[in-house]
Structure 1
């Protein structure tokens, strides 16, 4: 009987023989193949093909929805309602005055014309409100249907997410939101209550609506540069008065201010019998230079003719006092408001009003042409109060105004739109360059812009037109 060891050696020899035989066979086979012969494997994908066309369609529908539904559309109805809220009390007051003072002669004819114009404006507002409401109803219906379809299509597309990438992303978003909420609750528990925002009793400046008023007054097509508004601290009996200053000499100078007893008389151009004259000559010492003029507590503040000073014209005493600005203040059209295509001449020194009084905005060589802001302290003569230096270059701005101790800057977007893009809070020293509040313009250029705290309106003088906007606070 053969031993196990001998059997194992014999088996090893047989295996070596067959291995050599197999290698010889494969070598001969490969030698017989022609160079063109090759091996190929068929791969079959059992999953459905991804519907790229459907995804592109969803993207297009979502983009269209974003274009149709914008924050500006949501403010249209509110703007129109505010316009009606502003006009109806004025109409009621004018009718009441006509009933009391109708003399059956010229006064009655003029007042009836004013009331007729107001009724026409109210009817136009109501018609626009009706059209806008109907348009929003159609938009709401169409958007609801479109969003329902988008939701269904997105749910179908999620079936192709076999690795559940989208599901995990959504889970991560939910976790982040929960973490942020947890952090917010913790901060509310541990941090002290912040102080009120600036000096503003109304809350934060949120948006503007309008225009509320749009009129050329009694001089359509004339007096391209000027200013208008209301006195934030009027004398008794003149609470509803409006004023207007028109640059009458080369769009640079003015020597009088014109008053109107109501908004309606200003719109149709029925001013006071006499203009209040600063000086008989124009221009001359202490007359107005440039469109940046404001009225505050029976005194007109403006850039003095050919000086780097602020003039204060007392409407009661008919006297002028001056306020000297810091050395190096740019004036005589060397530091104007500008945009890429145009600079507004003689806008070096800007005056503004807000809840706390009068401010002056200018630029100096010392601050490299950037905006400088100073508080004007009332008195005879007025004095310069606290001063703030900003990092905003003045000639990169088209206008400035003050509201609740905060300086705002605007810039030209296009001929139809102006943007309030900048703010400087005098109570904290914080600058922001991303305010992003847009104004619809009635003419390409705004030469005067001022905020009135008495009615929370922005008053604009734009190429001979008087325009106003309602300010919305938080």
Structure 2
């Protein structure tokens, strides 16, 4: 009977059912009965054990899709993480700027507030983009929103504060404008006739026009000088120069392309004097694109060509280092330029400490003529040249300077004068006349000061 049963069962069993455990055969899945001919018949009910290959394939594809999506989202996180780090740094910088505005809003203008507001809006949009892209409600974003909102409120408040001060600023500006108008009225009598020396000399000096504090923005730079080229090259008519120091040493000069750049302290060029060419004293000038100043060792007059940066020096045999102007030491060589050329003033032992006036030949850089004056140098505050006449100044009182002496090189005659003008502050280290605009340029205790000059054409 058994062989018959196996023949009946084997064709009907799948390979999977052939491996059904014995214990399952003894369960309700197997029934036994006797057939009509008396043979033994077994009925086996096998479970559905076919492997679901289609489902596995679907699962594998879904898994690949999920892995790809995870990579995409991971890349997004890395990208936005990097952006967030950069913008958080920018936001930190922006916070510092807002704190600076809070500490001193008067230094900023409306444009600064507008730029801050635009940047804050950009940060706000960025946070929204990050939040939407990452589909996140993290407290980090809420904190960023709150910080940006608070900063925006601060900027708006500061701008309001700034606007409230605009009225005060306008009032002060109106006062300043009124003072300038009054100053202009005071100077209306001065009508420069540039280059005309058909007069009998200076008859008046205007009130001081205080331009501003020096380019270093420090009142400690009391030694120095400033002004314009007294014989400018073509195209350089608007150039200004400046040099100032905390002591009487001379080690660099600044050049400005025009008056506006001077005011904005935006130098066109800076000349650092190399070792061995350092100077002393501050009575230097720029003439024909060349700076003339006093050299240290050997004691001599030196020039620096501003185009070629070439240096040259000449010793003046009888010039002495023992005599200076009354306001400061080391003012031994005083360079000047006027309508008639280039000059240098100094004192000599042979002339008993009195000022010697010498004419400089620009090409040979030598002394071509000289005159002895009666002014004891240490009693003078400074001296300058105008139309071939040397004018010496001295202090009348704390607030007043006086042109007390004149020496005419054309006639060899001298005059005692009493032309007084107001000083901005008591002491100054540089005073020079410029023939291109007939103005006096003074470096007064760290400040740029100018005066208009009136000549007697009668």
Q: TM-score range by the shorter chain?
A: 0.5 to 0.7
List aligned pairs for 1:22-421, cutoff 5 A: 123-124=174-175, 126-128=177-179, 200-201=197-198, 204-220=201-217, 221-247=219-245, 251-272=247-268, 274-279=269-274, 281=275, 285-327=276-318, 329-331=319-321, 334-338=322-326, 343-379=327-363, 381-421=364-404
From the superposition, tell whether residues 199 and 240 of structure 1 become closer, same or farther in structure 2 (CA, over 3 Å).
Answer: closer
Q: Secondary structure at the match of 1:275?
A: strand
Distance 1:206 1:344 in 2: 28
The residue number in structure 1 matching 2:55 is none
Aligned pair 1:457/2:450, yes or no? no
Distance 2:372 2:184 in 1: 46
Q: Is the 8 A contact 1:417 1:441 kept in 2?
A: yes
Distance 1:421 1:315 in 2: 35
From the superposition, tell whether residues 347 and 131 of structure 1 become closer, same or farther in structure 2 (CA, over 3 Å).
Answer: closer
Superposition deviation, residue 214 in structure 1: 2.7
Q: Secondary structure at the match of 1:128?
A: helix
Superposition deviation, residue 127 in structure 1: 1.6
Q: Which runs of 4+ in 1 moved over 6 A?
A: 119-122, 129-134
Q: Secondary structure at the match of 1:375?
A: strand
Superposition deviation, residue 235 in structure 1: 2.1
Distance 1:383 1:129 in 2: 44
The Cα RMSD (Å) is: 2.8
From the superposition, tell whether residues 268 and 364 of structure 1 become closer, same or farther in structure 2 (CA, over 3 Å).
Answer: same
Distance 1:210 1:349 in 2: 28
Q: Secondary structure at the match of 2:442?
A: strand
Distance 1:201 1:307 in 2: 40
**Deviation per residue, 1:257-292 (Å, 9 max, x gap):** 1011222321232222x412331x4xxx22221111
From the superposition, tell whether residues 235 and 132 of structure 1 become closer, same or farther in structure 2 (CA, over 3 Å).
Answer: closer
Q: Is the 8 A contact 1:354 1:451 kept in 2?
A: yes
Q: Secondary structure at the match of 1:210?
A: coil
Distance 1:223 1:459 in 2: 17
From the superposition, tell whether residues 365 and 124 of structure 1 become closer, same or farther in structure 2 (CA, over 3 Å).
Answer: same
Superposition deviation, residue 124 in structure 1: 4.3
How many residues get paired? 279
Distance 1:133 1:263 in 2: 18
Q: Is the 8 A contact 1:460 1:467 kept in 2?
A: yes
The residue number in structure 1 matching 2:411 is 428
Distance 1:447 1:430 in 2: 27
From the superposition, tell whether residues 128 and 368 of structure 1 become closer, same or farther in structure 2 (CA, over 3 Å).
Answer: same
Distance 1:465 1:211 in 2: 11
Superposition deviation, residue 213 in structure 1: 3.7
Superposition deviation, residue 210 in structure 1: 2.6
Q: Is the 8 A contact 1:296 1:357 kept in 2?
A: no
Which structure 2 residue ranges, 5 or more long, are not aligned?
Answer: 1-114, 116-169, 186-194
Superposition deviation, residue 203 in structure 1: 5.3
Which structure 1 residue ranges, 5 or more long, are not aligned?
Answer: 1-104, 106-118, 135-197
Choose 1 or 2 for highest CA Rg: 2
Distance 1:323 1:211 in 2: 35
**Deviation per residue, 1:90-133 (Å, 9 max, x gap):** xxxxxxxxxxxxxxx9xxxxxxxxxxxxx999854542377799
Q: Secondary structure at the match of 1:458?
A: strand
Superposition deviation, residue 311 in structure 1: 0.4
From the superposition, tell whether residues 406 and 122 of structure 1 become closer, same or farther in structure 2 (CA, over 3 Å).
Answer: farther
Distance 1:437 1:120 in 2: 36
The residue number in structure 2 matching 1:466 is 448
Q: Is the 8 A contact 1:228 1:459 kept in 2?
A: yes
Distance 1:242 1:120 in 2: 32
Q: Is the 8 A contact 1:417 1:438 kept in 2?
A: yes
Superposition deviation, residue 391 in structure 1: 1.6
